[in-house]
A and B are shown apart, each in its own frame.
Chain A
């Protein structure tokens, strides 16, 4: 995938700032991942000193990825990760602003984006949101080079907090940039703006008359 820009983790502030909405990148380095709402609540508990966070999330690349980690019974304490794939990030909207700000996260990601509060938090800390391919498990899992740590093993596998070393993870699409601009907000606004014209075109198609304006497929901004 040499056609995509490769970024080394931890990502520098400058590199994050240089990424534009819609850019596609691959990542090399260390990432942290979980797909659990209870895990996010537990991270917030750690921020408030109720528990000690087992990993260092400062400036980290923290992604909403579900993975299957498994105890390697032949080697004490070693886990392997059989596969991983993104989950819907908007499920974590209510806790992500605090997590982004507290740890000054440089990269977050998953699929489906985050809301405007999270985008604002990313803008404040100079972090970006990266969109993973849903249903990309074979491609994404192939980038795992080493399982660095599997924390919170008392949780079910996809809730655990997993630290992985990856190479060529992606391609990932920049969905929210380091200034807090969001492709998701733009697309939602675009759809809302287009709605009236789309309804008109539906009405014209229903009555069998050719659409007075462009057909829905041809509508551009």
Chain B
């Protein structure tokens, strides 16, 4: 039996609800490790509070943050997957049902940018984007609700044949501008190259990679390491009240492009909301994170 609307709908709801209540395991581990190496006492205490909040949310089935963000889903369709569903419609239906039933209820953060009117729904909500996975017999859905605290500090710039020095200075300056504001320690996503739209997408997708994973590309792996050291040397620290840990990780993607080179930077706050599951063609659902 192919993958159905109701399976997708149900999963879209679950992924959102889980994302609000559980800080991913890799993120908790990174916070612990930052706590152990911090030289600032205030920062250590702040990191301990973060870990306590994550634990309390999980154990009490509560939201970690009151800003439940706007719903953002990334759908990756296996080319061997079999489905008989209106995937986008099913995700929208799932989110609608979530709004009506979730306990506790979520706040109205979806905003019409033309009128500043706020509610649960709006044009093109949830934001759903698609990609294909060659040969896979599943549909993978990632949910990463995006809130204001870290969302508003993302930036991108277009350069012409920039040197790595220019690119890295820009990335550092975006981090310095965000400063104390984006609920650090953050995961910083970087996209380099491609086109205007593709570059920002690469940066966002980079934030979804597990913390601690090593970039397949050795050049990018080295770039990630030195940029993480660089941003942590700024000293903004946990919650921006000072310390050694401003980023938990920098993750970068690149693509070839023309002589104009977009560079995009975005942030996930310390709770790093991110859930992922697959529905296989035989109906099995596998929760990955």
Please encode chain A, from 178 to 221, with 1 for each CB lying within 8 Å of some chain B CB and 0 for all others: 00000110011011101101110111011000000001110100
Is there a chain B Cβ closer than 8 Å to A46's Cβ?
no
Taking a contact as CB atoms under 8 Å apart, the answer to whether A219 and B241 are in contact is: no
Counting chain B residues whose Cβ lies within 8 A of the other chain, the interface size class is 35 or more
Which of A9-17, A50-58, A82-90 is near enough to bind chain B?
Answer: A82-90
Q: How far is the CB of A67 from chain B (nearest CB, A)?
A: 7
Question: CB within 8 A of B149: which of A111, A131, A217?
Answer: A111
Is there a chain B Cβ closer than 8 Å to A7's Cβ?
no
CB neighbours (8 Å) of B164 from chain A are: 206
Taking a contact as CB atoms under 8 Å apart, the answer to whether B233 and A187 are in contact is: no
Which of B4-12, B78-86, B224-232 is near enough to bind chain A?
Answer: B224-232
- Alpha-carbon distance A62/B108, docked complex (angstroms): 22
Chain A-chain B contacts (Cβ-Cβ < 8 Å), number:
173
Taking a contact as CB atoms under 8 Å apart, the answer to whether B67 and A87 are in contact is: yes
Q: Which residue of B lies closest to A204 (CB)?
A: B226
Please encode chain B, from 60 to 84, with 1 for each CB lying within 8 Å of some chain A CB and 0 for all others: 1011111100000000000000000
Is there a chain B Cβ closer than 8 Å to A39's Cβ?
no
Q: How far is the CB of A65 from chain B (nearest CB, A)?
A: 8
- Alpha-carbon distance A171/B287, docked complex (angstroms): 35
CB neighbours (8 Å) of B104 from chain A are: 68, 82-83
CB neighbours (8 Å) of B56 from chain A are: 138-139, 142
CB neighbours (8 Å) of B226 from chain A are: 201-202, 205-206, 216
Query: Total interface residues on A, using CB and 8 Å?
Result: 53
Question: CB within 8 A of B67: which of A66, A139, A156, A171?
Answer: A66
Of listed B50, B172, B235, residue having the most chain A CB within 10 A? B235
Q: Which residue of A lies closest to B176 (CB)?
A: A191
Question: CB within 8 A of A134: which of B179, B227, B239?
Answer: B239
Is there a chain B Cβ closer than 8 Å to A137's Cβ?
yes
- Alpha-carbon distance A70/B239, docked complex (angstroms): 29
Is there a chain B Cβ closer than 8 Å to A147's Cβ?
no
Given A22-B242, A135-B65, A138-B56, A113 and B180 touching (CB < 8 A)?
yes
Given A191-B234, A206-B226, A171 and B49 touching (CB < 8 A)?
yes
Residues 150-187 of B at the A interface (beta carbon under 8 Å): 152, 164-165, 168-169, 172, 176, 179-181, 183
Q: Which residue of A lies closest to B23 (CB)?
A: A135
Given A83-B63, A158-B66, A201 and B241 touching (CB < 8 A)?
no
Is there a chain A Cβ closer than 8 Å to B57's Cβ?
yes
Taking a contact as CB atoms under 8 Å apart, the answer to whether B165 and A203 are in contact is: yes
Q: How far is the CB of B157 from chain A (nearest CB, A)?
A: 17
Of listed B108, B164, B180, residue having the most chain A CB within 10 A? B180
Taking a contact as CB atoms under 8 Å apart, the answer to whether B239 and A85 are in contact is: no
Taking a contact as CB atoms under 8 Å apart, the answer to whether B107 and A158 are in contact is: yes
Question: CB within 8 A of B107: which of A138, A157, A183, A184?
Answer: A157
Q: How far is the CB of B213 from chain A (nearest CB, A)?
A: 20
CB neighbours (8 Å) of B235 from chain A are: 187, 190-191, 194
Taking a contact as CB atoms under 8 Å apart, the answer to whether B242 and A138 are in contact is: no
Residues 35-71 of B at the A interface (beta carbon under 8 Å): 42, 45-46, 49-50, 52-54, 56-57, 60, 62-67
Residues 106-126 of A at the B interface (beta carbon under 8 Å): 111-113
Of listed A85, A190, A191, residue having the most chain B CB within 10 A? A191
Taking a contact as CB atoms under 8 Å apart, the answer to whether A68 and B105 are in contact is: yes
The 5 closest A-B pairs by CB, nearest first: A216-B233, A85-B66, A138-B56, A134-B183, A205-B226
14 contacts between A and B (CB under 8 A): A68-B66, A88-B152, A112-B180, A112-B181, A134-B269, A137-B63, A158-B107, A192-B176, A194-B234, A195-B176, A199-B168, A205-B222, A206-B164, A216-B232
Apart from A88-B148, A135-B270, what are 19 other A-B pairs with CB-CB below 8 Å? Answer: A66-B66, A68-B66, A131-B241, A133-B46, A135-B53, A136-B50, A137-B53, A137-B63, A138-B63, A187-B235, A187-B241, A197-B233, A198-B233, A199-B168, A201-B230, A202-B165, A216-B232, A216-B233, A217-B229
